[in-house]
Structure 1
Amino acid sequence: HPILLRDFGVNEENKDPHSSCYRSVIINTSKEMPADFKDKRVVIVGCGNSAMDISVELSETASSQVYICVRREPKIEPSNCHPTMKTNFYERLSTGTLIVKPNIAQLNEDGSIEFMDGTKVENVDVVIYATGYQIEFPFLDRDIVCDKEVLKEFDEEYRENLVWLYKRMFPPKYPNIAFIGLVQLIGPIFPLAEMQARYVTSLIRGYIPPHPSIPEMHKEIRERQEFLQKSFYIAARHTIQGYYLPELDYLGCYPHPLQIIRKYGFSLYLKILFGVPNSFQYRLVGRQSWDGADDAIKVYNGCEPSKIKKS
């Protein structure tokens, strides 16, 4: 479910939507500015992907002011947090229609908001919480998603969204259940979800070895969570964090260079190594390979389809 200010002990009114509500309004109005946000002073809490998108869209069309609250002070470390990108975000900052503010200190009944730096914004009409989500499966016991015995090993903030799954998919005590796509990647999610689905079907059909023992699965999951805690700052969203290529390698999907070179030649391997990253490389060899994968890689790297030689 969405994380709202009430989860932090702050009272909120129904008029203050979560980012998912805002996105549904945008979709239903063909990406035009929703009438409820026109000529309004809007404060957006959060600085993730949704917050960036919403703040830019509102600041481009709303005649009033838009503020975006960054809840953490800048602390630049390599791979310390999930990157957020929006090409025209800085352009909106330079025009002054979008202003960055620190975390909220207090919401006042008169419609004003006080921030941690002591500044204050009057007459705020709408607060949008782009604050993320709590991982929850109401139809499943919590013990399935995360073993209750391991929760006490982690800080309270971290354990809120802790997911305890072998290969990012399988609960050790319930290996016949698989969660597909329950990962937040630095990179595209759909290629990984596809490879996870292929892994599950291969496991069912007996193409790959069965799971190791339960203690071994716990050991591997624990090592992975310790790695995440060292790599990223402690936050609920980082319990399912990962990197695109290493996650695919972790599933055993790494396309071996010698196999590719033997079948397609050194030129194609160089395109994979130094060219535009894409998921077609996982369809070159092995089960469920695709005859058009090599041509697709060439097209992605600038080769005109009409100039591809057909064998």
Structure 2
Amino acid sequence: MRMLLGAVLSTAVLTGCSAPASPGPTAAPQPTAVPPELRLPDHPTSDVWRGLALVPADVEVVTLTDLDQVRARFGVPDLSSNDTMAERTAFWERAEREASLLTEGVLRPEASRLWLDHGISEDDVDWEVHFTGASGRGYVVAFRPDLDMKRVRSALQERSLRGARLLPEQHLLVKGAAEDGEPVWAADPVLPQLTDDQAESAYLRRGCVPVRTALGDDATYDDMEALLAKQDPHHLRPLEAFSVSFLGEIVTARLGGGRIDLLDRADLSEVWPRTDGDAPTFRDGYVGEPVDDPSTGRIGYQVTNPPAAAAVTLAELLPFAVCNDAVPIEEPTGL
């Protein structure tokens, strides 16, 4: 049985989520239209969402990871590369088990080299924004306010950071970011309905997820037919954009307020086929009955396996975000 989100999630989880107006048509974002709460200041900021002020407007997918929020939940808010290797290793081992991290971290693949040669590590990163679009991939990495940015500058010669540039006053390392005056994601009028300033990590996407993608690579003809027999996605309204945000054991999908199809989208997760194969499926990451709030366009789930929830989200195995069409899967011929 479906439940109302407001009756189930705690007040702490819902803070700052007042009901927004129905989304209008997406206008071409203008650089001067960035709302004050998303503008990037001339100094370091702890607000990961302000990183969207550097994400080009034509980007399709954005992930945000607030490592400071994760550290605070684990009781080590001031952890940095100044701490012992044992303490830092313990944090990452726990984070990989208990947090839905949507990025490995720009500095972690070359952790030893960057630490030994330049004195920096992922433990000096407050938050990261990663994005993918027609023009390629990019990122915004925010370092702790008290870090000597000369260390980061010296690391720009490393192959792993090739193509990145430094914004030293803001303690940011960026690659593929929008230049001054270019349209950015933060100016999109749909965005305020999708933000969650308490999230430890978040996934934002323009448009919907094709049903075939959401079913996963292991889906068969029978899986598609079983879904269509239970609930046909053709009756859903178009989806302009959505977000998925994680906070501890709660994951919240935001589809925009005023959606008359929100309950149908929540119901899809209950009839979604569980495909065969080794890859995680939706129910490996998102558990419990969906709880929804049509006034704000939110659907909430519980998370018991954070790594699986992150993998499912990045693979877009998300029934609540599907398009209102379904490309058939070819029926096996037996030949």
TM-score, scaled to structure 1: 0.23
Larger RCO of the pair (alpha carbons < 8 Å, separation 6+): 2
Q: Which has the higher strand share?
A: 2
Q: Greater CA radius of gyration, 1 or 2?
A: 1
TM-score, scaled to structure 2: 0.22
